[in-house]
A = this chain, B = another copy of it.
Amino acid sequence: MIRAKIVGATGYGGLGIIELLLRHPQAEITALIAREEAGKPISQVYPHLQGFCDMPILSADDPAAENAPADVVFFSTPDRVGMFDARKELERGRKVIDYSGDFRFTTAEAYADYATRIGKDPVHASPDLLGENAYGMAELHREEIKRARIVGNPGCFACSCILGLAPAAKAGIFLPHSVICDCKSGISGAGKKANPAHHYPARYEQMNAYKLAGHQHVCEVERELGLLAGEPVLVTFTAQVVPVCRGIMSCLYADLRKPMTEGELLAVYRDFYRDSPFVRVYDSKAAIGTINVRGTNYCNLSVSVDSRTNRLRIVSYIDNLMKGQASSALQVMNLMFGLPETTGLDQPGMYP
């Protein structure tokens, strides 16, 4: 059994990995750690866990937290926690999967650019660990993830954009400065903490764009697409919130170098994801949406060409808390421990 410790266990990201590990056949949870609610059983914070997981929440400085046996530690923590606390876990021989931006970048410079966008200290606290970390997008970095001790989980918006454009970037079929990512997220993406913008009466009939000056996920998107394209890719990115709980719908646009049909584009996509069990590729007529991936690790892609304007258009659907966060982390864990990447992720979600 893989023994897992979860830091930041009481947020939505921590809860997500708890729910998934509970049904994983080869993993078990050994400790739940969080800054708030310490001392309570997790099932008091989340009553649906009662009878399934009644472990106490430990504070980070509780010796029981540090000494809990573990093979892997999930840091479902804000930016600039994992970069400080991962080291001692690594020193004990544990693998680390961090949800924040701390280990999404492999150079101090790239981190600094990201950190600046979110108003954080641009100096990485553990620059020596950068370089050996892997970017946790299994579909693009399987082999690096298998070898890594530290993995930075992708941002939720970034995940939807990168999966949506990777095949086209790799095939070199679009102009690298023409990319637009128009991304809509459900509200759970903003986390568990109550705030005025996500108070039910303020939100139930509200759609809006935000962070128009520049969302931090664009760094990952440009880096990954650039690596695939073999040249710099520049992206206009618009983050939006709409009143669903779970789900991201990203509409992705880019100018084609030369005309191609939807069929040709579909072939590029299907070929690229041939061995990726969690990406489903659809033509433009398929009736799909976020509700069809809710609660799962799937990314559904609708592929089309606007031939009038010679532009490709991909609509990418994920569950922001799953493929955008917890289930993606579990897929990574499977790879890090030599398991089939679908282990524990082989359920279809629930409808309606």
Q: A residues bordering B, Cβ < 8 Å?
A: 12, 15, 19, 22-23, 46-53, 177, 180, 182, 184, 186-188, 192-210, 212-214, 234-236, 238, 240, 242-247, 249, 251, 253, 277, 280, 284-296, 300, 302, 304, 306, 308-309, 311, 313, 315, 317, 346-352
With A and B bound together, what is the CA distance between A209 and B283 in angstroms? 12
Residues of B within 8 A of A198 (CB): 194, 199-201
- When distances are taken between beta carbons in the complex, the residues of chain B under 8 Å from A280 are 50-51
Contact assessment for B309 and A212 in the assembled complex, using a CB-CB cutoff below 8 Å: no
- Smallest beta-carbon distance A22→chain B, Å: 6
Complex Cα distance A78/B291, Å? Answer: 26
Decide if B245 touches A242 in the complex (CB within 8 Å): no
Closest 10 CB pairs of A and B: A208-B289, A201-B352, A212-B284, A206-B291, A52-B348, A182-B182, A194-B199, A47-B292, A207-B249, A194-B194
User: Taking CB as reference atom, which chain B residue is nearest A295?
Assistant: B350
B187 with A200: CB separation less than 8 A: yes
Given contacts A236-B309, A349-B48, contact A208 B244 (CB under 8 A): no
Looking at the assembled complex, report how far the CB atom of A205 sits from the nearest CB atom of chain B, in whole angstroms. 5
24 CB contacts below 8 A, A to B, read A47-B286, A47-B288, A48-B292, A48-B293, A48-B348, A52-B346, A180-B311, A182-B238, A182-B253, A195-B199, A200-B200, A200-B245, A201-B352, A205-B244, A205-B247, A206-B291, A208-B287, A208-B289, A209-B289, A236-B308, A236-B313, A238-B251, A238-B313, A238-B315
Collect the chain B residues with CB atoms within 8 Å of residue A304's CB: 212-213
Chain B residues in 8 Å Cβ range of A302 = 209, 212
Q: How far in angstroms is the closest Cβ of chain B from A85? A: 26
| Contact yes or no, B243 A244, CB < 8 A | yes
Q: A200-B203, A204-B200, A348-B19 are in contact. Are A311 and B188 (CB under 8 A)?
A: no
Q: Across the interface, do A48 and B244 meet the contact criterion of CB distance under 8 Å?
A: no
Residues of chain B within 8 A of A188, CB atoms compared: 201, 352
Q: Is the CB of A208 within 8 A of B240?
A: no
**How far apart are the CA atoms of A202 and B203 in the complex, in Å?**
13
Which of A12, A247, A287, A350 lies at the interface centre, i.e. has the most chain B CB atoms within 10 A of its CB? A350
* Also in contact, A352 and B315, with CB within 8 A (given A50-B280, A207-B249): no
Task: Give min CB distance, A233 to chain B, whole Å.
Answer: 10
Q: Is the CB of A213 within 8 A of B285?
A: yes
On whether A251 and B290 interact (CB within 8 A), knowing A22-B347, A245-B201, A351-B15, the answer reads no
- Chain B residues closer than 8 Å to A290, beta-carbon distance: 205-208
